[in-house]
């Protein structure tokens, strides 16, 4: 049946002058085909998110949110230290990723035509596509080996490097939408250029830039691979920059591949908490990007 109709479509396109109805049918067939591919794509999303909520909601409780992992074989325990650890590592990553991404992005947005800007854009896009596990190896050779220890710093470095391209490119794009008249108005008032950028242009692009930072943060929050051998793992609460720390994604991974049923349950609970955190960041992003920038009024 399906083959029949696509064959009809082909003949229509090869020769002209075929009947109206045959062309109409082939068009309808392809419309249906493309619409159904949308459904096929949505199916796994519904299955994954649905199963995640079904499994996770039954496992998240106060014990899970407030306690550190119990020793092997003892039931109970939770991922409180991993939740704090994830926030800690992403915080360090933000300290590295935001300044470089932001200031570099301002340069690109303010000098969009420069050849150098195009090179940086290209490199940032390529860096963005570099596998996260490679970033982990990079952080290992640069931070873990010299310090001779897994640490928060190493994990933060790996994630920070991964944040740079996202922050850079969103800042770049948002600054290019700021109308030139605003720049000119400020310069005409005798305001130095640097002051124009910092006080006028950045302010008018504020919500777009925050959206980019949230996007970058939400992305690295779920990263597991670069943390496996940088921030490593820790069964206890830890706040030292130079010590290994437990993070939510790594903890989920370790529990998922373990043979214990209770740890599987906790892995689902951790996964739900992680997805909710990312969802909240996404909602925040939407709120910010919907909020109109001053120049668009």
Partner 1 sequence: MAVEIENAGAIAGPLKVERKSFIRADAVFKAVLGFFAFLVIVLLVWLGIELYLSSREAFANAGFWNFVKGTTWNPVSEVFGALPFIYGTLVTSFLALLIATPLGIGTAIFLAELAPKWLTKLLQPLVELLAGIPSVIYGLWGIFVLSPLMANVVEPFLQNNFGYLPFFKGYALGIGFLTASLILAIMIVPFIISVSTEVLRTVPVPLKEGMYALGATRWETLKKIALPFARSGILGSIVLALARALGETMAVTMVIGNTPKITESLFQPGYTMAAVIANEFTEATYTSYLSALIAIAFILLLITLIVNAIARWLIWRTTKAL
* Coil, helix or strand at residue 99: helix
Yes or no: say if 89 and 143 are a contact pair by the CB < 8 Å rule: no
User: Is residue 134 a contact residue for partner 1 (CB under 8 A)?
Assistant: yes
Helices (H) and strands (E) in the chain, counts: 14, 0
* Among 17, 71, 73, 190, interactor with partner 1 by CB under 8 A: 190
> What is the C-alpha separation between 104 and 117, in angstroms, rounded?
9
Number of residues that bind partner 1 (CB under 8 A): 103
Judged by beta carbon, residue 151 or residue 223, the one nearer partner 1 is: 223
* Among 53, 80, 112, 133, interactor with partner 1 by CB under 8 A: 133
User: Is residue 9 a contact residue for partner 1 (CB under 8 A)?
Assistant: yes
User: Is residue 163 a contact residue for partner 1 (CB under 8 A)?
Assistant: no
User: Is residue 64 a contact residue for partner 1 (CB under 8 A)?
Assistant: no
User: Is residue 27 a contact residue for partner 1 (CB under 8 A)?
Assistant: yes
> What is the C-alpha separation between 97 and 176, in angstroms, rounded?
21
User: Is residue 253 a contact residue for partner 1 (CB under 8 A)?
Assistant: yes
* Coil, helix or strand at residue 77: strand
Nearest by Cα to 149 from 233, 254, 255, 252: 233
Residue 236: burial class (beta carbons within 10 Å; 0-12, 13-18, 19+):
exposed
User: Is residue 199 a contact residue for partner 1 (CB under 8 A)?
Assistant: yes
User: Is residue 265 a contact residue for partner 1 (CB under 8 A)?
Assistant: no
Strand partners, 77: 69
> What is the C-alpha separation between 281 and 247, in angstroms, rounded?
18
Q: Taking the alpha carbons of 46, 253, 86, 129 in that order, is the dihedral positive or negative?
A: negative
> What is the C-alpha separation between 204 and 197, in angstroms, rounded?
10
- Binders of partner 1 among residues 167 to 186 (CB under 8 A) are 168, 182, 185-186
* Among 15, 17, 129, 146, interactor with partner 1 by CB under 8 A: 129
Judged by beta carbon, residue 78 or residue 165, the one nearer partner 1 is: 165
Shortest gap between Cβ of 72 and partner 1 (angstroms)?
18
> What is the C-alpha separation between 48 and 42, in angstroms, rounded?
10
User: Is residue 31 a contact residue for partner 1 (CB under 8 A)?
Assistant: yes
Nearest by Cα to 251 from 270, 238, 237: 270
* Coil, helix or strand at residue 178: coil
User: Is residue 45 a contact residue for partner 1 (CB under 8 A)?
Assistant: yes
User: Is residue 107 a contact residue for partner 1 (CB under 8 A)?
Assistant: yes
Shortest gap between Cβ of 116 and partner 1 (angstroms)?
7
* Among 53, 80, 173, 219, interactor with partner 1 by CB under 8 A: 219
* Among 4, 14, 34, 115, interactor with partner 1 by CB under 8 A: 34
* Among 2, 14, 62, 189, interactor with partner 1 by CB under 8 A: 189
């Amino acid at each position: 049946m399906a083959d029949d109709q696509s064959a009809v479509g082909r003949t229509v396109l090869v020769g002209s002058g075929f009947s109206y109805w045959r062309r109409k049918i082939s068009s309808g067939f392809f419309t249906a085909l493309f619409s159904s591919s949308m459904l096929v794509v949505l199916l796994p999303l519904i299955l994954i998110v649905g199963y995640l909520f079904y499994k996770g909601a039954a496992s998240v409780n106060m014990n899970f949110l407030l306690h550190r992992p119990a020793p092997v074989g003892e039931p109970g325990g939770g991922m409180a230290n991993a939740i704090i650890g994830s926030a800690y590592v992403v915080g360090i990553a933000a300290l590295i990723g935001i300044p470089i991404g932001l200031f570099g992005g301002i340069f690109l947005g303010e000098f969009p035509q420069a050849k150098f800007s195009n090179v940086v854009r290209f490199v940032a896009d390529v860096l963005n596509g570099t596998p996260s596990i490679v970033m982990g190896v990079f952080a290992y050779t640069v931070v873990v080996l010299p310090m001779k220890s897994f640490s928060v710093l190493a994990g933060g470095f790996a994630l920070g490097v991964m944040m740079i391209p996202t922050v850079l490119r969103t800042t770049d794009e948002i600054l290019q939408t700021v109308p030139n008249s605003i720049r000119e108005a400020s310069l005409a008032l005798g305001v130095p250029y640097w002051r124009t950028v910092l006080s006028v242009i950045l302010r008018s692009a504020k919500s777009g830039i925050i959206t980019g930072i949230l996007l970058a943060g939400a992305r690295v929050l779920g990263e597991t691979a670069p943390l496996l051998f940088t921030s490593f793992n820790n069964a206890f609460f830890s706040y030292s920059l130079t010590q290994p720390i437990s993070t939510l994604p790594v903890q989920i991974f370790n529990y998922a591949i373990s043979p214990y049923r209770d740890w599987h349950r906790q892995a689902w609970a951790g996964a739900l908490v992680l997805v909710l955190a990312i969802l909240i960041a996404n909602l925040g992003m939407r709120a910010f990007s919907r909020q109109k920038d001053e120049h668009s009024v």
